[in-house]
Structure 1
Amino acid sequence: MIKFKLLLWALALLMKKAARKNPDFRQQLDGKNFAFQLQTEDGKVVRHFAVADSKIRSKAKATQDPAFTISFKNADTGLRILTSKDKNAFMKGIQDKDIKIAGDLSKVMWFQSITKFLKPKKKK
């Protein structure tokens, strides 16, 4: 559970850094004003992310009215899927019912599209 909490915290740091330093990432935030959250199904681990003013803020607690929520079966499953090198891990997690999504699916697709900006740059 601790590793999953740390992963969500690190994800928040990566998004905040990308919002400051990456113009392409910042462009994806332009005009967006909503919150979303990632959590375990039982709600024991939860982190919400608020997008507004081309910035991202995050807290390790639930938000009142998320645009979408991605719930993982448990912390180990969330860690495995979010750190998988398999680009189909997320879709497989949905098919296997290890991931449940509630809310605006277009915003979920947006979130998946911005994750490409968070991967470490390959060394040449």
Structure 2
Amino acid sequence: MVTIPVLDVKSDPLDVLLAVIGYRLSMLASSDNSDVQELLNDKKVTIEFISEESGVARSYSFDNGKFSQQSGEAENADLTVKFKDSMTGVKLLTQGSLPAFMTAVQEKKLSIDGDYSQLMWFNKLAKHIVPPIPEEVKPYLERAKPYAYKAQKFAGHWIGVAKYKLGK
């Protein structure tokens, strides 16, 4: 039986995403994945993510192979990533693209304070966050894609109608 610790998570989409990423990082830190362990060994760093608009903050601490996450701002973060708003954070984190981060910095949708090399290191670690899809599941996903595309178009249409009706 696996025990899952209770996390302090707000209903904000960025905080939910960061909490889930933190949970996955804790799984990776305790795994026997040699690539992950190589990245975590001899690493002592605290990285925090903040949404300026919503006041959401969550920090990740890495300490020689051990991982922890905390809700709220860190006392001494080595790297702080501040998103203009939560949805910008969600979009950039789910894209997983370092160039997209840099573009967001130029567009003032994101600011980075601290040691930029820690962002490069975190990007290497982040490549392990999404687990690989088992081969036996892939055919089912391929069959579901057309339905997901139709549902996305349908939802997009009705969201547009709702925005029009609400005057937004």
Verify same fold: TM over 0.5: yes
One-letter identity of the residue aligned with 1:18? L
- Among 19, 25, 32, the alignment partner of 2:36 is 25
Give 1:65's aligned residue. Answer: 76
Give 1:109's aligned residue. Answer: 120
The structure whose RCO (Cα within 8 Å, separation 6+) is larger is 1
- Among 54, 60, 64, the alignment partner of 1:53 is 64
Give 1:121's aligned residue. Answer: 132
Number of residue pairs matched? 124
TM-score, normalising length: structure 1: 0.89
Give identity over the alignment, percent.
Answer: 26
User: Which is greater in Rg?
Assistant: 2
The answer for unaligned runs of 5 or more in structure 2 is: 1-10, 136-168
Structure holding more strand per residue: 1
Structure holding more helix per residue: 2
CA shift, 1:33, in A, is: 1.3
Q: RMSD over aligned Cα, in angstroms? A: 1.8
**Does 2:107 match 1:96?**
yes
Conserved in 1, the CA contact under 8 Å of 2:53 and 2:86?
no
**Runs (4+) off by over 6 Å:** none
TM-score, normalising length: structure 2: 0.67
104-113 or 77-86: bigger deviation:
77-86
